[in-house]
Amino acid sequence: MKKLQLLLLVAFTVGFTAQAQYKLPQLNYSYADLEPYIDSTTMYIHYNNHHAAYTNNLNAALSKYPELFKKDLVEIFRHFEEIPADIQTAVRNNGGGYYYHVLFWELLTPSSKSKMTPVVEKALIANFGSIDSFKTEFEKAAATRFGSGWAWLIKDAGGKLKIVSTPNQDNPLMSFAEAKGKPVLAIDVWEHAYYLKYQSKRVDYTKAFWHVVNWQKVEELLK
């Protein structure tokens, strides 16, 4: 009887945990669809190796405290200090990495579909004066992020659009972020995102990025 109870408990725990694990999202395009701006090999490795590693490492960290699988990742970021100290670094790096790659894939689209919408255009002009000054400021944030990290367009609590950058896998939703806000657009400036094609020319990669931005998604995030 005891054996059966133990077996049921194990089955329940494994079943519950398995159901709640984070998974790689489905991409809305194939690895080659962002060519020639983002090459197929980079996309393949970025998704299958880097994003997969963040996903596995996040699951491993949260498995120590399975109740955390029930919490929304954004809520975890917003109340970061509340999660157990022994998994904070792992969740900061891999939770950040998991969440923002999911978003990054959605913010990309084949160049044939990349067209700025009137709503986004109006919002960018209202906040930055012109599309050119928005792009220049965003490219500057991407270029000047020392080492690995991300550049962001965020919407702050007052509804104002701002350009910021964060190191490593930190993001503007995390409780300790210098500039907080809701991500609207993001570019990954880790070398793994561009080095195969652009080598040290991060600026060229950032300029190529404009050809494959999913402006429909940006409009959705602006709301």
Residues of the shown chain interacting with Mn ion in the complex, contacts defined by CB under 5 A: 188, 190, 193
d(CA 50, CA 220): 26
Site of tokens 């490593």: 168
Q: Where are the alpha helices (DSSP H) in the chain?
A: 2-20, 40-45, 52-62, 73-78, 85-90, 96-106, 118-128, 131-144, 195-198, 202-209, 215-222
Rounded to a whole number of angstroms, the minimum distance from the CB of residue 120 to Mn ion is 24
Spell out the residues 6+ positions from residue 158 whose beta carbon is closer than 8 angstroms to its own. none
**Which DSSP symbol is given to 167?**
E
Residue nearest to Mn ion as judged by C-beta position: 188
Rounded to a whole number of angstroms, the minimum distance from the CB of residue 27 to Mn ion is 14
Rounded to a whole number of angstroms, the minimum distance from the CB of residue 52 to Mn ion is 11
59 vs 124, which CB is nearer to Mn ion?
59
Beta bridge partners of 187: 151
Rounded to a whole number of angstroms, the minimum distance from the CB of residue 26 to Mn ion is 18
28 vs 127, which CB is nearer to Mn ion?
28
Spell out the residues 6+ positions from residue 61 whose beta carbon is closer than 8 angstroms to its own. 87, 90, 91, 94, 95
109 vs 123, which CB is nearer to Mn ion?
109
Rounded to a whole number of angstroms, the minimum distance from the CB of residue 143 to Mn ion is 17
54 vs 77, which CB is nearer to Mn ion?
54
Beta bridge partners of 57: none
Rounded to a whole number of angstroms, the minimum distance from the CB of residue 192 to Mn ion is 5
Rounded to a whole number of angstroms, the minimum distance from the CB of residue 207 to Mn ion is 18
190 vs 195, which CB is nearer to Mn ion?
190
Work out the number of other CB atoms within 10 angstroms of the CB of residue 28: 14
124 vs 172, which CB is nearer to Mn ion?
172
33 vs 188, which CB is nearer to Mn ion?
188
Q: Which of 32, 220, 193 is nearest to 110 (CA)?
A: 32
* 94: phi then psi, degrees, rounded to nearest 5: -90, -30
- H/E element, 19: helix 2-20
